Amino acid sequence: MDEALNKVLPDIYQKLFKRFGPQHWWPAEEPFEVIVGAILTQSTAWTNVDKAITNLKAAGKLSPRTLRLLPEAELAALIHPCGYYNVKARKIKAFINWFGEQHGDSLQKLFSGEISDVRHQLLQVYGIGEETADSIILYAGNRPIFVIDAYTHRIIDRLGLAPKVKNYAAYQALFMSHLPP
C-alpha cells in the first residue's frame, strides 16, 4: 500500500494543483487575523466567521492587546454571528492570554521553534484542537503541516486510501509521509 500511496497521493495533488493552481485561500489580511479566524471557524460556516471578523475590525478590537483588554461578554457580542460565541470568546481569551504570557504577543517567537514543538504548545491552550493548531501553523505561520478536515477524511475514505487507524494523527501521517512539504 505504501508504494501505491507514494504514487497515488502525489498524482492526485498534481492534478488538483494543475486544475486549480495555488489557492492562498485563507481570507485574512494578517497572521493574527488567521489565528482568530481559525478559532472562530470551529463548527461554523466561514460566512458567519467573516461577519464576526468584520465586527472585530469595525470595533478596532482585532489585536492581542485590544482583545486582552476587552471584557469577555463584549467579545462574545462582537463574535455573535459565528455561533457558540460564549465558548469561542473564552477560547480566544485563553489563546491571547497564553500568547502574551508565553510569546510576548510575538508571532515570530510563536512560530520560531520546531513545528512539533509549536503544535504541542498550541494544543495545551484551551480550545485549540488538532485541526485548529495545524491551521494556525500552516496559514498564520506559513509552516509546512497538513491540515486534516472532514473533507479530507471523506475523500481519502472514498478512494480506499484510509489508514488502518482512523484518527487525525493517522490521516495526517498518511499525507505528510507521502507528499513533499
What the chain holds in terms of domains, given with CATH numbers, is: 2-18+148-176 (no CATH), 31-140 (1.10.340.30)
Question: What is the CB neighbour count within 10 angstroms for residue 43?
Answer: 10
Radius of gyration of the chain (CA): 18
Global pTM reads 0.94
Q: What is the pLDDT of residues 89-144, one digit of tens each?
A: 999 999 999 999 999 999 999 999 999 999 999 999 999 999 999 999 999 999 99
CB 83 within 8 A of CB 50: no
State yes or no: pLDDT of 152 exceeds 80: yes
Q: Is the pLDDT of residue 1 over 80?
A: no
pLDDT in tens, 154-166: 999 999 999 999 9
Mean pLDDT computed over every residue of the chain: 95
Categorize the per-residue pLDDT at 6 as very low, low, confident or very high, splitting at 50, 70 and 90.
Answer: confident
pLDDT higher for 1 or 152?
Answer: 152
| H/E element, 88 | helix 85-103
Instruction: Please report the pLDDT score of residue 149 as a whole number.
Output: 93
